[in-house]
Amino acid sequence: MSGSDPDMQNDDAGREWLVLKDEMTEETVGYVDASGHVKDADPATEQRVRDAFARDLLVQDGEVVEELGMCFDGVCAIRPADPGHDALVLRNLGALTGLRPERREDPESGA
């Protein structure tokens, strides 16, 4: 299931969390995983991510072009249940929500 699932919030084992940055302010606003689960974010941020992962997307050559409910030459609809949907949303989250996912910096390694 995509989005913030309250039953999954405490199950962090094996989950890679990405830092969510507001693209306008560069402020960290929470964390997201590859399936769209959110933690340490305010309700509005959680809703923006949940909405992005729930959208049907129009894709052309692997890039999101619009969010409509139809297909035409060279463009196809990718639905939330389709394989690859979540990865596509995560890769385009900045354009869809104004929130950019980034890998966490590890203070131990300086990465």
pLDDT, tens digit, 9 for 90 and up, residues 8-37: 445 566 789 999 999 999 999 999 999 999
Domain count, the chain: 1
Instruction: Report if residue 109 sits inside a domain.
Output: no
Other C-beta atoms closer than 10 Å to the C-beta of 42 total 11
Domain that holds residue 41: 6-103
Instruction: Report if residue 22 sits inside a domain.
Output: yes
Instruction: Report if residue 44 sits inside a domain.
Output: yes
Q: What is the pLDDT of residue 80?
A: 95
Instruction: Report if residue 92 sits inside a domain.
Output: yes
Q: What is the pLDDT of residue 42?
A: 97
Mean pLDDT of the chain: 82
Would the pLDDT of 98 be above 50?
A: yes
CA distance 83 to 69: 17
Instruction: Report if residue 1 sits inside a domain.
Output: no
What is the pTM (predicted TM-score) of this model? 0.76
Of 52, 80, 58, 88, nearest to 71 (Cα)?
58
- Look up residue 105 and give its two tokens: 């910096």
Cα 78 to Cα 31, 40, 84, 87, 106: the distances in Å are: 24, 29, 8, 11, 34
